[in-house]
Structure 1
Amino acid sequence: MNSIQKKILSLSAIVLFIMVIIWVILTYYNQQTQAQYNQILQRYLRMNEMTTISQQTVTSLNNYLQAPSVETINELNENKARAQEAKLEIAQLKNRDNSFTLSNYMNMVDSLLEATDLSLMFLEQKNNEAAVTRFEEASRISKYIGETTLTLIDKELKTYDEFYRGIIQQSAELKKLGFLILGFVSVILLLFTYWFSLSMTRPIQKLTFAAKELSRGRFDLQIDIPSNDEISYLAKTFDRMRININNLISEIQSKAQLERELQESRLLLKESQLRTLQSQINPHFLFNTLDTLSKKAYLEGSQQTSDLIVSVANLLRYNLRNMDKPVTLQDEMELLLQYIDIQKARFTDRLRFVQEVDESCLSVQIPSLTLQPIIENSVIHAVEPSEEGGTIIFRVYQKEDRIMVEIEDDGEGIPQDKVTQMVNDTAAVPAQGKGLSTGIGFSNVVRRLRLFYGYEDVIDIESKPGIGTKVILQLPQVKVVEQS
């Protein structure tokens, strides 16, 4: 997809490429000119250096003749070596215009060195007059070298006069070339900018027209923009939105028709519900009846039957309360003990219940009807299937900043895959069987605990086949969000 970003990058790349080409051309011509300038300057510097060295050689020779010493002779030898090196470098400056003059120039350097050597030789032979004569000859040769240097530099200036004029002309041509390149780049940029603006403004105009039509309620107009960038993607998305809105309007119309049809059914249903409510037993009448039966059994001397009826009444009354309101762990444990009393009346010695409770931990808040469904599962799956019954251990204790509630049985245990499903709330263990049941499944307990406390690891299950199952609740001591 040719995105708008790619188009902008293409424009930048073209501009950058043209700028690089211009920079390379200008740099090449500049380096060529600079190299020629440096070459001419080196010729002047070498000639001028030869004059300076010849004068220093004569000065060193005079110092030695005046005061012979190791220091003055070393200085003289150093200047002679420099003169020899300068002569070799000047030999490289020979061309067609200065061949004859440069040959005489190098011969004068040789004559200077020769006169210097002869002056030293006569001085060693104690012939001071001859040594002075050779020194004067060396001085004259040094002056000739200076004059010849000026002559050579003058010829160099005349030789390269045409080169200087060519550089001036070349600079003028480069200036014209710069204006031509600037005009060419400007035309290219204008053309590309025009094409780029058209590729963006035309689709946007079509999209604007389609939006206006949609605002007028025309949802049957297809939006088609033949481009290959983000605007085309936006147009396709806009068209899908148009289709979805059109389908939604049709669906709303269908639902409105269905709603009118259902309204009549609701009237009939309400009438049926009223009749059903009239046939239901009043809970207060039920509690009063159970209370009367309990007192009658007590008066007749059936103490155990009276207690059992009271426990059933309390259990039913607790189940009918608002389950959205939190209760204390103390309330849940009292309900649990009443449920155990009912089950003991059913299973007698087959049900063994052990409690290990820290009384200081019973004030923590917990959702209503949390413990009884878990105990009920233990009764159904651990006590009821076995002829010998089973043992259920109920523990409450504090561990760090958590209140731990454990319900452990010695049943056949649960397979590990089933445990994982129960903890992850992907499978439900139904609380059903013979006897009294609340109708609240284990999965319901898991969901309510996690919603109530706001974190996932509030419950855990440890089970080993043939050994038993332990359900562990980790309750916070202080609840962050108070339930009303």
Structure 2
Amino acid sequence: MEESQSKSIRVKLVEIFVMVSITVFVIVIFIYYNLNRTIREMDTVYNSNIQFNDLSANVSDIQNSLYQYLNTKSSDALEDYYRYSQDYQELLDVLNQEVSSDPAKLAEKNIYYLSQTYLEMTDEAVERKRGRDAAGVREAYQETEEIYGFIQANINSINTSTFVSNARSYSNLRVILSYTTGFSICVLFAVIAIAVGWIIIMTRSITKPLIELANAATEIAQGNIEVDFPIVETGDEVSVVAKACNKMIGSIRNYIEETKKNYERENELAANELRMKNDLKEAQLKYLQAQINPHFLFNSLNAGAQLAMMEGAEKACMFIQNMADFFRYNVRKMEKDVTLQEELQLVDNYIYILNVRFAGDIHYSRQINEKLLHISMPSMILQPIIENAVNHGIREMEGEGCIHLSVFGEEDEVCIEITDNGVGIEPEIAEKIMRGENAHSMSGRDSEGIGLDNVINRLRSYYGRQHVFEIKRRETGGTSVTLYIPKEGKEREDDENTDL
């Protein structure tokens, strides 16, 4: 990668700042140098006039102090004379002393040598004054007066010519200064404009990719994850961020796609699991329903045959009719839900058959809330309970057996209670039946609780809860079995009991 393509944003900004600063600094130095040079030339123009003015003023001071001393012989005047003479000599030392073709330089040389002669004559006048040579003082002073006049005339002449020349030079320098100032200002503004344009171009090259990234990020934040971050090969952090963001968006898309696939897979598995559970539940119901004890069929048919032989066709016909209804219900309703009313009709048929078998020794009574007869429930639920009460309660007692069935409402449940006056069930056996242990530990026709285990498992599987069955020994004797059937959203109804 080239050097220009590997600079960070910070380096680019520093370069812009340094280049602009150096350029402006160079332009300012250039302007400052030209302005100062022009000003120095203008100062030089007037320095020559000032120099000759200083010479004229200084030589006048020498002449005045000399005059005062010669007239008064004052020590102050003498001291002023020496001081002015020294200052004047210093001013003379800067004048041209060489031969030159320049009139101005030649005039300076003449002034220098006249001034040296003048100073010699003033010193001679002072010495004669000290020697009390009055005639010599007067003669020396007159010579100084004459030389003084020549010096002032030469100074005025050269000062005038120099002033005229300097005036022309000053005018030219003013024009040059104006042009220089204008040119410098134009150059400065041009450089500033170029620098500003360069800064705008550079900052736009930096900020434009950032703006595009921000726009893409806004669309992604609004839910459009199909947008890609624009890749601009700027060679700085912007392109690095764009590439990293594109990788991140790609990872997010892959993650979302995998999540969708997993979600669909989980839904499919859940649906399959639900179907399997339903199939298993149906198979369990069919399996449990298929466990109905078949021995009753054989005993009932034998009893019907005996009755037909001993008594007449009418009773045999009634018996066989009830048997037919019983088995017809068993065959037709095995795989269907039934109403409580249909289950109670089956119990009536079953009780009739039992009384034929046991010569009317079973007394059966009901107390039903007729408003609850329409509730739905599995088939062949009540008959195994009646059969269990007869086989394990009433058959083992002396005297008339009694079975009482009642249906009543209790909060959100329908309670079906079946009681008998048999020998009663032992509490330990009742607990085993409730836990489902008894059916797996005993076998045979007379085993305790085979039918009840069937009923309990079917009810729990059908309603999907454990609290559906209760069996216990009655304090007055016999056994009490209670079924708890959910009303399944039906409104709670007040108990209206009818004795049948």
Q: Give the TM-score taking structure 1 as reference length.
A: 0.47
TM, length-normalised to structure 2 = 0.46
Using CA pairs under 8 Å that are at least 6 residues apart, name the structure with larger relative contact order, 1 or 2. 2
Q: Which has the larger radius of gyration?
A: 2
